Structure 1
Amino acid sequence: MFATPAFAQAAGSGGAASPIMQFVPLILIFAIMYFLMIRPQQKRAKQHREMVASLSKGDHVVTQGGVIGKVASVRDDEIEVEIAQGVKVRIVRATVAQVVNKTQPVAANS
Structure 2
Amino acid sequence: MLENLNKFAPFLLMFVVIYFFMIRPQQKKAKQEKVFESELKVGDKVITKSGLHGKVSELSETTVVIETMAGKLKMERSAISMEMSASLAKK
Give the TM-score category using the shorter length: 0.7 to 0.9
Query: Aligned-pair distance for 1:34?
Result: 0.7
1:44 aligns with 2:32: no
**Structure of larger gyration radius:** 1
Please report the TM-score for the alignment, with normalisation by the length of structure 1.
Answer: 0.72
Distance in 2, matches of 1:17 and 1:40, equals: 33
Query: Aligned-pair distance for 1:17?
Result: 6.0
Equivalenced residues, count: 86
Return the letter of the residue paired with 1:48.
Answer: E
Gaps of 5+ in 1: 1-15, 103-110
- Sequence identity, in percent? 34
Give the structure 2 partner of residue 4 of structure 1.
none
- The structure with the largest helix share of the pair is 2
Gaps of 5+ in 2: none
Within the candidate set 42, 65, 88, 1:57 is matched to 42
Please report the TM-score for the alignment, with normalisation by the length of structure 2.
Answer: 0.86
Query: Aligned-pair distance for 1:90?
Result: 0.2
Structure 1 residue ranges, 4+ long, deviating more than 4 angstroms after superposition? none
